[in-house]
Structure 1
Amino acid sequence: MNFSKATITGMNGKQFTEYLTPFKDDVGDNVTFVYDTDIKAYTDDAYCMFELTNAGISDDYQHRIMQKVADKYGCKFSDDELLSNESTALLQAMLAVYAWIKLKEME
């Protein structure tokens, strides 16, 4: 898939390639993810964990959700980040987390 991309500089001065998708997250913003050249992987940059925290989900439950989603979609979950060598696998995992949050809000 071709997404808009830009080079961004993190707080530590490290540069990443950020991808902007047309898909929406749980708060209606466009889903973004980055490619980290140091680890040679796509990552959500811990944004899904941030959203789970904002949704009031306990830490232990957050980690269980993230590990289950990572396993389901062929990603890794490490240091609060979803990681994948495939952008589409990462995106699918991120969208699953956002959908889970929205469904949880409906309870």
Structure 2
Amino acid sequence: MLIKIIEFVKAHPFLVLSAGIGAVVGGSIAGLLTSIPFLGQLLAPVAAMLGITITTIGAIVGHRLDKQFQGVGEDLMEIAQHFFALLADVFGCVFRDVTNS
């Protein structure tokens, strides 16, 4: 199952990113609207629909970007792998020095 998810992310990097950002923004707006005293419970269905709409718009934009920039997914994955390898090396050096002190 994890392999299928990774393959999907590699094939559709902008879709995953845009839908994820849309979900975060939509969830934040929904959370803010529902936290309003008294009115929040009445606005909850509207906030949920707003969150779903924003996520869907993000997914559509991401899908369009994936179609426009074919092959960018592999480049993004390679950059992310190099970045996290560097980050792991930096943390390894820092914590190695801390534990040796």
State the TM-score, normalizing by the size of structure 1: 0.30
Higher helix share: 2
Larger RCO (alpha carbons 8 Å, 6+ apart): 2
Higher strand share: 1
State the TM-score, normalizing by the size of structure 2: 0.32
Give the greater-gyration-radius structure (CA).
Answer: 2
